[in-house]
Amino acid sequence: MTAIESVESFRSRARAWLAGNMPRLADAAPPSTEGDEDEQRWRRARELQKKLYAGGFAGICFPEEYGGLGLTPAHQQVFNEESDGYELPVVLNIPSFSICAATLLDMGSEEQKRERIGAAIRGEEVMCQLLSEPSGGSDLAGVITRAERDGDNWILNGAKCWSSSAYAADWGLCLARTNWDVPKHQGLTMFLVPTKAPGVKMNRVRMSDGSAEFCEEFFDDVVLPASAVVGEVDDGWSVASRQLFHERNSMGGGSPYISGGRYAPATRQMTPLDIARATDRAGDPRVREMIGRFLAMEKVSEQTVGRVSRAMATGALPPTAASILRLLHAESNEMAADIAVKIAGSGAATGAGADQGIGGQAGLRFLVRQGGSLGGGSTEMARNVISERVLGMPRELALDRDVPFKQVKRGR
């Protein structure tokens, strides 16, 4: 076995390679006015990922046999530090790498790992999550999208919604019901679904901030081969649980599969401190107090992410503790959005959008502030998981827990 490169040697190589090969954010060309701006962003991300792969800096924590570098979270951390200020394909981080590829790595077949993870690392493919349904996302084990056997194949029918960036994806991890005669957690199967397969209809959903990242999908007799099953038939809940772990870990900032930061730079720059400086209010004692609260929260988040991630890695805390990170992320995100609007004042209300200066950006962000406490499972569900699965408090009453799913009463 060859010894792995030291973290400091990796840092020096990454620094030199980034300087010679990746574009600086400050020099990034504005999106062309021709064609769909979102599609350009995703095309650009794939190009940048191909560059990272060619340079030997893609898939840092994924195993070598699946196209990664097989290095440690410490190597990923120094790469993240060195890549600050460069244009990187950060839209690929969540959900493609840190949730979908990570779940396949833990639960997928050899073929799925080799083909899908490899293609994602090479910048050829993107993955998305097809979990939530129009009937509700919190009760994930209650999904009613169905897959029925047809010889060696499966036939998928149903609908999913709120799928982030599914329009840009090639594959989706889709949870479907395959057995209605057993209690709800026992009759589910996870499938890898090609998003462009015959019978898949996808619409993009426009949000109040103008973005159209969410999609809804309708499956109408979509034929899937047996090799589309991830994990075991009727054991999709194990796969979904692992996927939820990776999602909460990613949202909370603890995933080692995130390269170069979680967010696009425009979002990252929107700190209350930036807004105070830009609006010339950094000297106002009330504003300073709010910034102090924000900075304290940032410190607490940083330390908690480190502490909980380490504890989960050593087994001192169960994987469900990722909900602590997920909850903290939602709370700090909401706090930052609220403080930003308070500091920006009337500029946040009257600025019409990102092109209306920093006040308008604070206003836009406020419109979707609630997203952080819904994506990756709601804040209420995170609190339930922490109390029941981490602290060992009594479980919530569930009348449908041991009942065959076909007998469970559902809304019309």
Ligand X SMILES: Cc1cc2nc3c(=O)[nH]c(=O)nc-3n(C[C@H](O)[C@H](O)[C@H](O)COP(=O)(O)OP(=O)(O)OC[C@H]3O[C@@H](n4cnc5c(N)ncnc54)[C@H](O)[C@@H]3O)c2cc1C
Q: Using CB under 6 A, pick the residue from 307, 384, 387, 389 that binds ligand X.
A: 384
Determine, following the binding rule CB under 6 A, whether residue 377 of this chain makes contact with ligand X.
yes
Structure letter (DSSP) for residue 40: H
Compute and round to an integer the Cα radius of gyration of the chain.
22
Pick the stretch among 30-38, 42-50, 133-141, 191-199 that binds ligand X (CB under 6 A).
133-141
Whose Cβ is closer to ligand X: residue 76's or residue 132's?
132
Determine, following the binding rule CB under 6 A, whether residue 203 of this chain makes contact with ligand X.
no
Closest distance between ligand X and the C-beta of residue 30, in Å? Answer: 25
Query: Number of residues in contact with ligand X, rule: CB under 6 A?
Result: 21
Determine, following the binding rule CB under 6 A, whether residue 129 of this chain makes contact with ligand X.
yes
Determine, following the binding rule CB under 6 A, whether residue 95 of this chain makes contact with ligand X.
yes
Distance CA 189, CA 232 (A): 7
Determine, following the binding rule CB under 6 A, whether residue 137 of this chain makes contact with ligand X.
yes
Return the sign of the alpha-carbon dihedral for residues 361, 98, 52, 113: negative
Closest distance between ligand X and the C-beta of residue 10, in Å? Answer: 32
Determine, following the binding rule CB under 6 A, whether residue 98 of this chain makes contact with ligand X.
no
Residues 220-239, one symbol each (x = binds ligand X by CB under 6 A, - = not), give: --------------------
Residues 162-181, one symbol each (x = binds ligand X by CB under 6 A, - = not), give: xxx-----------------
DSSP letters of 285-299? HHHHHHHHHHHHHHH
- Binders of ligand X among residues 145 to 164 (CB under 6 A) are 162-164
What lies within 8 Å, CB to CB, of 368 at 6+ separation is: 207, 208, 209, 211
b/e per residue, 147-162, with b = 16+ CB within 10 A?
beeeeeebbbbbbbbb
Residues 26-55, one symbol each (x = binds ligand X by CB under 6 A, - = not), give: ------------------------------
Q: Using CB under 6 A, pick the residue from 52, 371, 385, 405 that binds ligand X.
A: 371
b/e per residue, 28-65, with b = 16+ CB within 10 A?
eeeeeeeeeebeeebebbbebbebbbeeebbbbbbeee
3-state DSSP assignment of residue 396? coil
By the 8 A CB rule, do 175 and 143 touch? yes
Determine, following the binding rule CB under 6 A, whether residue 96 of this chain makes contact with ligand X.
no
Determine, following the binding rule CB under 6 A, whether residue 256 of this chain makes contact with ligand X.
no
Q: Which residues pair with 175 in a beta bridge?
A: 190
b/e per residue, 365-376, with b = 16+ CB within 10 A?
bbebbebbbbbb
Residues that bind ligand X (CB under 6 A): 95, 128-132, 136-138, 162-164, 371, 374-375, 377-378, 380-381, 384, 396
